[in-house]
Amino acid sequence: MPADVLDAERAHLAAARAALRAMREHARSLSADAAGDWVSREILQGLLDQRVAALADQPDAPLFFGRLDRSADDDLPGTIYVGRRHVHDDRSRPLVIDWRAPVSRAFYQAGPADPMGVALRRRFGYQGGELTAYEDEPLGDGRPGRLPAGPPPEQSSLLLREIERPRSGPMRDIVATIQPDQDEIVRADLGVTVCVQGAPGTGKTAVGLHRAAYLLFTHRERLTRSGVMVVGPNRAFLSYISSVLPALGEVRVDQTTVTGMLGGHAHPEDPAVSAVKGDGRMAAVLERALWLHVGKPEEGLLVTKGANRYRVPEHEVREMVAALRGTTRYGPGRTILAQRLAHSVLVQMERRGESPDDRVQDAVARSKPVKAILDQVWPKLTAEQVLFRLLSDAEFLARAAKTDLSAEERELISWRKPYRTHRSAKWSAADAALLDELNDLIERTPSHGHLVIDEAQDLSAMQLRALGRRCRTGSATILGDLAQGTTPWSATSWKTVLDHLGQPDGEVTELTVGFRVPREVLDFAARLLPSVAPDLAAPRSLRPGAGSLTVRHVPDAVAAVPEVVREALGREGSIGVIVPDSAVPAVSAALDGAAELVGGEAPAGDSAAEDRVLIVPATLAKGLEYDHVVLVEPADIVAAEDRGLARLYVVLTRAVTSLTVLHAEPLPAQLTS
């Protein structure tokens, strides 16, 4: 590898880093004092702080990872360096082009058949933040159909090396290794909802995060106003992905779980009860339950002003209520009814020669007689009051459910021992979705510009409706794998998921080629597919991974863990010890006996990045990955829940370098067939 080429590229890297520091110092020197008032100064200072944070350099991450030598006859530079963010010098000349810019698309999509105006593509290899290697791929003269001379290029060794690079700590971005089919998803238009069915190791989570970064770059002003939110399955997962968007320069993206988004309610509940509460039929039940509170007036309205009396007959009040019922949300409907009653009084005042204005109408709408009528026919309600009545009053539940729920289902979700009041009630995660539905029936839920929803196959219909409300004026990127559904209500069709989200026109695409999980491991896990997702094609891996799978039958699986972990510590990379939830204390004790081995426990979600060994309960393994996985007692994982085989499929596919299975109990029959 010519030293002069490497020296030149290293010089460009040094110049780009110096320019980035200068850009950050310039942003830091700007002052918000020029703003005209205190509020404007605070807003401007916040924007400046965001700009400074977005320009932070990360010494261990390459500032650019590719270069394009272009032959296209246009106004763009002939040589373009592609990196994580735009960098320019003091004369505004681009030293690095953001990977999301239109011209950078050729780095991911250009090929011999369609070079996209590129004569040569260069990839760079790094060790830490130091440039150590480069690799060139000639693409002819850049014109379609003009193939370069010689044999077709082999798979990039630098690309494979980056994909296979051991990891520790949080998830890394994949901006340097995005594949053409992934790039198509990343650059999908903002107005398009995309649903990605992704087999393990296909990078679906990273694709979703990179699409969020791309959309923020392309539609900055719009999405800054409306917001982007990433919704993950649990806190450990959010901690794992937390570094990806900041590494791409995006520091203002909300990240939460469904539980966190819906108020944090998580009171334990029988899964069978949660399954009924999560069913889409509950939407109609809740709507009826709310509107059943709207009654008929017992008498008309009488408003006294001085010596004058103004009456709105009972039948007129009834007509106003009937006209509003079902045509507006519950909360605004109460306000509109008050105004209509007041307006009727105002008309009578005008007929008597008075000259009332809007202030008089507002005063009448707030008067005690109007409030009394409202409390009788359209009472003020909260979602908690309605759900409390629904779950504690069997007769009311029957009226609201009609034929949507069977008698057995109504009995199942009714509280055996009702709480004293709605304020003392403890709500489950399934209840939280019902409360959100009611809140939206009462007052409209604000919408984000874009939602990224991971592990969507595990969400109930009511949870999906809650998420759909938050992107009803925007779009979504939906990520998941039907084979990894582990809840009793797991989806079996992405069309159904899109319908519940209110995005029926969303596009479903599939990623089947894995880059992370070795083929030997993936093929072993795929033996479970006929049992957990028979309609899905078996995934493929580009990495043969010979010797990556070890299955050991041992007298005591827990006791064997320290020795296997000690062997794994002799290799580079992170180590995840995935165990049945009930075995966490025993495995922790076994590793504590070898104190030098254990680094932390995954549920806390805040382990230090340098911890190499994590104990991971099987129920929290979804979405995570480790270089080396030690899987303890698969049979116990299967036996722990109804969807145990799907849970086992999940944990078998968390390894990106090696998987060691320890079992004293016989393996599930599907794995041995």
| pLDDT band at residue 88 using 50, 70 and 90 as cut-offs | very high
What is the SS3 string spanning 510-574? EECEECCCCHHHHHHHHCCHHHHCCCCCCCEECCCCCCCEEEEECCCHHHHHHHHHHHHHCCCCC
pLDDT tens digits for range 233-271: 888 888 888 888 887 778 778 899 999 999 999 999 999
DSSP class of residue 456? G
Q: Where are the alpha helices (DSSP H) in 271-367?
A: 271-277, 282-291, 314-324, 330-351, 358-365
Q: Quick one: which of 402, 463, 471, 404 has its CA closest to 429?
A: 463
β-bridge partners, 304: 309
Q: How many percent of the chain have pLDDT more than 70?
A: 92
pTM of the model: 0.86
Where are the extended beta strands (E) located within 199-248?
228-232
What is the SS3 string spanning 93-120? CEEEEECCCHHHHHHHHCCCCCCCCEEE
Cα pseudo-dihedral 361, 362, 364, 368, rounded to 10? 170
| pLDDT band at residue 44 using 50, 70 and 90 as cut-offs | confident
Helix then strand count (H, E) for the chain reads: 29, 22
Range name among 230-239, 265-274, 427-436 with the lowest pLDDT average: 230-239
Residue 167: the pLDDT is 58
Angle at Cα 451 formed by Cα 447 and Cα 455, nearest 5°?
A: 135
Q: Which residue has the higher pLDDT, 50 or 210?
A: 210
Q: How many percent of the chain have pLDDT more than 90?
A: 70
pLDDT tens digits for range 615-640: 999 999 998 889 999 999 999 999 99
Residue 148: the pLDDT is 52
Residue 427: the pLDDT is 97
Q: Which residue has the higher pLDDT, 553 or 36?
A: 553
DSSP class of residue 421? S
Classified as helix, coil or strand, 319 is helix
Residue 334: the pLDDT is 96
Residue with structure tokens 């067939």? 673
Question: What does the block give as tokens for 353?
Answer: 């020669």
β-bridge partners, 613: 575
Intra-chain end-to-end CA distance of the chain, in Å: 49
Residue 305: the pLDDT is 87
pLDDT tens digits for range 324-373: 998 999 999 999 999 999 999 999 999 988 888 889 999 999 999 999 99
Angle at Cα 317 formed by Cα 314 and Cα 320, nearest 5°?
A: 155
In whole angstroms, give the CA distance from residue 316 to residue 379: 18
In whole angstroms, give the CA distance from residue 189 to residue 450: 11
pLDDT for residue 604 is more than 60: no
Asked if residue 259 lies in contact with residue 283, where contact means CB atoms within 8 angstroms, the answer is: no
Range name among 369-383, 397-411, 603-617 with the lowest pLDDT average: 603-617
Angle between helices 644-652 and 519-526 (to 10 degrees): 170
507-511 and 475-480 strand pairing: unpaired
64-70 and 79-83 strand pairing: antiparallel
Question: What does the block give as tokens for 129?
Answer: 């933040």
Amino acid letter for position 591: L
Amino acid letter for position 185: I
pLDDT tens digits for range 443-477: 999 999 999 999 999 999 999 999 999 999 999 99
What is the SS3 string spanning 354-403? CCCCHHHHHHHHCCHHHHHHHHHHCCCCCHHHHHHHHHHCHHHHHHHHCC
pLDDT for residue 99 is more than 60: yes
Residue 153: the pLDDT is 47
Q: Which residue has the higher pLDDT, 307 or 185?
A: 185
Residue 60: the pLDDT is 75
* Dihedrals phi, psi of 233, to nearest 5 degrees: -75, -30
Per-residue pLDDT averaged across 558-580, rounded?
94
| pLDDT band at residue 152 using 50, 70 and 90 as cut-offs | very low
CB neighbours of 278 closer than 8 A, spacing ≥ 6?
430, 433, 460, 461, 462, 463, 489
Residue 142: the pLDDT is 58
Amino acid letter for position 280: G
Residue 47: the pLDDT is 81
* Dihedrals phi, psi of 547, to nearest 5 degrees: 80, 5
Q: In what order do the strands lie in the sheet with 79-83?
A: 87-88, 94-98, 79-83, 64-70, 118-127, 130-138
* Dihedrals phi, psi of 236, to nearest 5 degrees: -60, -40
| pLDDT band at residue 610 using 50, 70 and 90 as cut-offs | very low
